[in-house]
Amino acid sequence: MTDARPDPDALLARLQRDDAAARRGRLKIFFGANAGVGKTFAMLAAAHAAQLQGRAVRVGVVETHGRADTETIARDLPRLALKDVAHRGQTLREFDLDAALAWSREQPGGVLLLDELAHSNAPGSRHAKRWQDAQELREAGVEVWTTLNVQHLESLNDVVGGITGIRVWETLPDRVFDDADEVVVVDLPPDELLQRLKEGKVYLPQQAERAARNFFRKGNLLALRELALRRTADRVDDQMQAYRREHSAGTVWPNRESLLACVGPGAASDKVVRSAARLAQQLGLDWHAVHVQTAHGLSEAARQRVQRTLELAQSLGARTAELSAPEVARALVGYAREHNLARLVVGRRERAWRWPGRPTLAEALNHLADEMDVLQVALPTTMRASEPGPPVPPGLIASHTLRGYAASLAGVALTTLIAQLLLSFIAPTNIAMLYLLNVVGVALWFGRAPAALTALLGVAAFDFVFVEPRWSFAVGDAQYLVTFGVLLLVGLVVGQLAAGLQAQARAARERERRVRGLYAMSRDLGAALVPEQVAEIGTRFLRAEFGVASAVLAPPLGNAPGHEVLTVLPGASAQPDLGVAQWAFDHAQAAGQGTDTLPASPCLMLPLTAPMRLRGVLAVEGTGRRWSPEARELLDTCAALLAISLERIHYIEVAQQSTLQIESERLRNSLLTAISHDLRTPLAALVGLADALKLTPLNAPQADVADAMRRSALRMSALVANLLDMARLQSGAVQLNRHWLPLQEVVGSALASLDEVLAGREVAVDLPAELPLVELDAVLIERVLVNLLENAVKYTPPGGPIRVAARAAGRQVEIDVSDSGPGFPAGREEKLFDKFERGDRESATPGVGLGLAICKAIVEAHGGRISAHNVPTGGACVRVELPLGEPPE
């Protein structure tokens, strides 16, 4: 019979979720594999249907991308006005969150359409992402309908990038997708989508042609379609599992094939695991491997064998678990129903004899769960000599010591003595109860086997001492034989039950102790402020829990990812092998004792993996035995808590440093702006005086001095102009004046402005005639090219060539300015774009390190990117990448 009572915790969690859902607005996502499958159209069509049913509908924002059918169906729906957001010289049209909230107060229960959930809002908006707008709307009780492509899910972003070769930067957390109340899959076969693309129903013709060559290849579309359907299926499966847990479903629903391998203590259990692994691989199934520990217990050899078998299953891809229960079959069925596993794989060995009426494990499973398939794997009847001995038979446990048996003998003797003293006050038949009480006590303290011995000895003592004829094993009254049988049977059963309850109570106390220890550790870690405190808390927990020495190793805070060298944090009680620890850190895998990597190490090395990155290694000295699955799981939990704490401390320090850096930058910019304004007037006067001196007759030395004064004043003026430009760019005061221009015109203007500087220099210009028009601010991009060319002149030796080249590359244009100088210092290419950063600080070449910083600010204001690298044949190259848009017809 199945126990279908609901889990109280699940019921409470369900009530809490229902209560939260009642206050929040619903989220409905129209989900597709890629652009053009009809998500927005389907959303608008559903909105029309909702409007006809009397619901209030508003369009918050809809991106039609010029598609005629989408524009037509959207035209009849009422819209909220978009708001204008000024950003770097451009006016962007964005969703107005405040207007939507105001509308929702006027029209409670309405539906708001919010297209492209992964969209990034313009800087200065309340939220950085549109999905955050949707979250605020839902908290206000607004029902939101939206659209989403599979490539925008954070967990699948790199997978999609690997398939298509194009990385999408607008993503949202998977929890937003999983938290949706409804997901509508909008699917379209690849051939139909390609036909729509060809007909111009997805993109404009010029864009469609490029898309067909890149993202919209049929292989890409097939792969993305599979990803979208699989992700939706995973979401539905999670919902189904949650429903089963909440309603305590008593049977397995075979909606998704899966396996459960039952691991016993026998030496041939690895055959069960390997057979299950092969079957799972052939059928493409998920599978679990579980061992059930009963009150019977196991010998140390059998215990180690179970651990090795579970480790084998885990290495073959199984999810492993070790359960504690009085009955193996019931525990396996309960686990299978909890995880919805429809097939059970068990071993079958033909035995010469077994207890009459006692079913095999397969028979017990069939009886308890007739909805499951039970697959039996034939096991050898004998084991190889090289394998450990057989498991200890039922009734023998690890506490089978002389102490337990001595307690059994002493207890029977003491009970006999007390009964002898009470014989004149109680009937002989009541003395049997004293022996039964002795059986219960021995079972509770020493286990099942001493209890069974106590029952046998109690019957023998009762017969010998108290049954006529006394002091012999003869029985004068045959009715006493029934008494002996009942006493022996009840003693064995009670002993069995008492030992089982004691084992369960012991396991419960152990679990409670470990949970209490983890809670105390979590509380202490929450108050830790430095990594040293985290290490001390971790070592203290492991010493209290396992009695072992340990150490926490972490890289210094200043090390860049990929170049970390581990050091032992203070508070360590172990001396770990740094080489093994470094290997575990570099490969993000466990190593050392008890693993397959460097097992000779005296310590087990566990990587401290935090949500963002690896934070260090936990080294735990071994006990000389393999770690049990429960102990290993506790170690992994400890490592996870330490990793999260180290990451929390790291980001606290990053936030403090960022705050300090922002304040320092603000102060420095204010100071530089003030000084620069004060210097502009005297420098302009100095340049004018130098020009005036050149107009008067001077001898050669005087003319040289006047010329040098003029050059120095011009250089100082350029420096002051750079300082002012940098301050204006950082404050956002610069407004871009964009126009569609040929790149040749901007490059030519920059070269013309540097006629005097480039005099006598060899400048090669490679600008293909077919370069497309670029939307840019000509004055600012010219400033970028001038700065780059001046840098090239500074570092190129006399007679060395300077090269300016450009080319179209996909959705962007690349401009390279290269020289034939010494090149950039290795490893510092990216740092050169920071303010006041120079390649060689000791160089005699004039400059303060602002030119490249200004270039970076201007290029990024255009939505582009700037980078630096060394040319293999010698020299340095700076590359400017500007986005290509669609020029007006």
Q: Is the pLDDT of residue 399 over 50?
A: no
3 state SS for 352-420 = CCCCCCCCCHHHHHHHHCCCCEEEEEECCCCCCCCCCCCCCCCCCCCCCCHHHHHHHHHHHHHHHHHHH
| 673: Cα within 13 Å, side-chain hemisphere | 13
| CA 581 vs CA 533, 624, 627: distances in Å | 20, 19, 18
> What is the pLDDT at residue 2?
46
Q: What percent of the chain has pLDDT over 90?
A: 15
- Taking the CA atoms of 226, 229, 232 and 238 in sequence, report the sign of the dihedral they define: negative
Higher pLDDT, 723 or 713: 713
Encoded tokens for 801: 């060539």
What number does CATH give the domain 258-350+357-378?
3.40.50.620
- Give the per-residue pLDDT at 248: 56
pLDDT, position 46: 93
pLDDT of res. 30? 95
2-6, 529-533, 703-707 — which one is most confidently predicted on average? 529-533
* pLDDT attached to residue 844: 47
pLDDT at 390 over 60: no
The pLDDT of residue 497 is above 50 = yes
pLDDT digits (tens, 9 = 90+) for 273-330: 999 998 888 877 889 999 988 766 676 778 888 888 888 888 888 888 888 787 888 8
Mean pLDDT, residues 339-356 taken together: 74
Mean pLDDT of the region 543-559: 84
Residue of 145 and 352 predicted with greater confidence: 145
What per-residue confidence (pLDDT) applies to 804? 92
DSSP string covering 732-745, please?
T------EEE-HHH
Query: At residue 400, what are phi and psi to the nearest 5 degrees?
Result: -75, 80
Residues 250, 256, 257, 260: is their CA dihedral positive or negative?
Answer: negative
Confidence of residue 388 (pLDDT cuts 50, 70, 90): very low
pLDDT, mean of residues 177-198: 85
pLDDT per position as a tens digit, 211-266: 555 667 777 788 888 888 888 888 887 777 777 666 655 565 555 668 999 998 88
Q: Which one is predicted more confidently, 362 or 623?
A: 362
Q: What is the pLDDT of residue 306?
A: 87
Read off φ and ψ for residue 888, nearest 5 degrees.
Answer: -65, 150
> What is residue 393's predicted lDDT score, i.e. its pLDDT?
38
Distance CA 574, CA 580 (A): 14
Per-residue pLDDT band at 675 (split at 50, 70, 90) = low
CATH superfamily of 734-883: Histidine kinase-like ATPase, C-terminal domain (3.30.565.10)
pLDDT at 385: 34
Is residue 112 over pLDDT 90? yes
Q: How far apart (Å, rounded) are the C-alpha atoms in residues 151 and 154?
A: 8
* Torsion sign, CA atoms 350, 351, 352, 356: negative
| Predicted confidence (pLDDT) per residue in 746-786, tens digit | 999 888 888 878 887 888 999 988 888 888 888 888 888 98
Q: Please give the average per-residue pLDDT across 581-601, as a whole number.
A: 86
Supply the pLDDT for residue 42: 92
Tell whether the model's pLDDT for residue 558 goes beyond 60: no
In the block, residue with structure tokens 């925008």: 152
pLDDT of residue 43: 93
Of 340 and 90, the one with more pLDDT: 340
128 within 8 A of 74, measured Cβ to Cβ: no
State pLDDT tens for residues 432-442. Answer: 788 878 877 77
188 — phi, psi (to 5°)?
-145, 130
pLDDT digits (tens, 9 = 90+) for 780-812: 888 889 889 988 888 888 888 899 999 988 778
How sure is the predictor about 638, in pLDDT bands with cuts at 50, 70 and 90?
very high
Looking at the DSSP bridge assignments, the partners of residue 343 are: 259, 373
Spatial CA neighbour of 644 closest among 604, 612, 606, 617: 612
3 state SS for 499-558: HHHHHHHHHHHHHHHHHHHHHHHHHHHHHCCCHHHHHHHHHHHHHHHHCCCEEEEECCCC
pLDDT of residue 606: 93
Percent of the chain at pLDDT > 70 equals 80
Report the alpha-carbon distance of residue 85 to residue 115 in Å, rounded. 18
Strands 603-609 and 373-378: unpaired
pLDDT score of 845 more than 70 = no
CB of 758 closer than 8 Å to CB of 751: yes
What rounded mean pLDDT belongs to the chain? 80
- pLDDT at res. 351: 59
CA max distance for the chain: 152
By the 8 A CB rule, do 833 and 856 touch?
Answer: yes
Find residue 375's DSSP bridge partners: 345
pLDDT tens track for 267-285:
788 889 999 998 888 877 8
pLDDT at 14 over 80: no
Residues contacting residue 758 through CB under 8 Å, at least 6 positions apart: 751, 789, 793, 802
- Asked whether residue 640 carries a pLDDT value surpassing 80, the answer given is yes
Q: May I ask the CATH architecture of the domain 8-247?
A: 3-Layer(aba) Sandwich (3.40)
- For CA atoms 51, 55, 61, 62, give the dihedral sign: negative
Pick the range with the lowest mean pLDDT from 153-167, 368-382, 395-409, 574-588.
395-409
Provide the 3-class DSSP secondary structure of residue 347. strand
Cα 52 from Cα 11, distance rounded (Å)? 38
Average pLDDT over residues 138-157: 89
Tell me, letter by letter, the H, E, C secondary structure of 70-108.
HHHHHHCCCECCCEEEEECCEEEEECCHHHHHHHHHHCC
DSSP 8-state symbol, 150:
G
Q: What is the DSSP letter of 144?
A: E
